[in-house]
Structure 1
């Protein structure tokens, strides 16, 4: 959090410096069209003219409602009521003035020097003080003089309240000995600081620029992503097509192999005996004392598993048939104690049909 706070401080300091480089503060003696000059007798209202300022009315120091109404009528249509054109000027009776002397080396630190000396100049607290200063024109010596002008916030607030009662709202407060004096000293600016205002505008502009850049970057990134996604989808489609082509080739190859196998099977079918024929031959050959439990036929090899009172005699019986040859035991015969039947496992080769049988 500390790093973020420091970064924000640096950023706003940079904005303020940039704004100050763009905008110059208003110098002392700023132009005005309506001036409120405070005196012991009241608040004199002047309007700017080609010659000397012209006074149109005076609001007493402690006005009654009738005084306020009379003053409003006197000013109607004669003064500019735009706050930006209204100036409140204090008279010598409203201020405390003192000249201080500081080393020339402290010229760059004059704001801090004056601020630290305010409580030694005025009889009220620092928080209740408006002040300004002007450095003397002579800067040739080791010491420089600065004229400090100070007044109380309570006094200024009271004058501003009286001004607002007649519909006038000053935008600045300064001091000069007379209304005609052009070398006034600024004490208070009631307008927003143009440097701060411009810094806020710059901040909004920078944020907008960053948002636009981010939006453009996101849009560009999306376009690149969409383009890559399109290429990826195209690659996937091409890969899918190539996969289907390879699958078709594979199926064609398999079909060719199956075709060859069917042709071989078809050729062999004429030589091989049907299964039903073998079953019928076994039914005729096997004696009543023998029966089958399993029958397997694979590549003209037949495996018989079953039980018989004379398993050994079955070899000769099957050898004597025209359907079987090379008959042999594929496993030893077994007979459990007390049983008359023995278990046998016999392998035999199925004889091919003879030419005479094929012709039938």
Structure 2
């Protein structure tokens, strides 16, 4: 029963992913009406069509939000304009925090994790309570990059998302002004979300049914392959385990040695040695890197120190046969009076330190 429940959950997730993909692909080939929604200084919003067409309202309309509904109520023409449209909200800077962030240029592949880890330090909110985004990195001197970062409270954005759902919009995007690298103001996208799922009328029904049916057939085949293959692999591993136990018993009987020496030897071969880990990590790290803290917990090692090029440490650790799955477990920082970067990296230790007897 547990296997069936897990298979059902996986199948539902698969169908949801396929439906989202269909919506994205269809959205690229279908031109949706765009409604621009600008926040005013008094807290109201003004809506206008980006490209008015015949039969659509051409005069902007202003309203305030009252329990996620526009007040005064929208006319029938404006309700029809919002239905199935893409709403592009532009917030004022009053409730937005803007920063210019500075990183090493090698950190371009890790921006999401590095920025997310610093949201609670850069803003009054935690990462879970904030809606934030950043612009394209701009190269500067000394092999560095600067990024325009903006954030606001999720409580500020959630009513706008609920309004878009109430009006039947297909998608909503929220942007806010940010301070550019050259000091100029630029719009930073904080959120871009599709609001219509599998039941949305924007995509022809036959296309949805055909694609989802194909995905369902592929999912069933994949499930059968996964579970049958997993069952056979489990049986093989169980058989190998029993063979290993039998061989160990035969060796003990043949040698007449029932003491704990064999267990100690096995533990020595499979347990990471602190001295050997220290020697291995000293070989991996470059001469310009200094480790101030080294912690070994189980099969994981954590190192903290100073270096000139923090992102390159991940690549060096991954290339070593003694370490795998290297990553940053805390943000890389640089103090104003320091020329090097303070890094926090961790990696799994390959638990093999000799050949068995």
What is the TM-score of this pair, normalised by structure 1?
A: 0.40
More helix by share: 1
What is the TM-score of this pair, normalised by structure 2?
A: 0.41
- Structure whose CA Rg is larger: 1
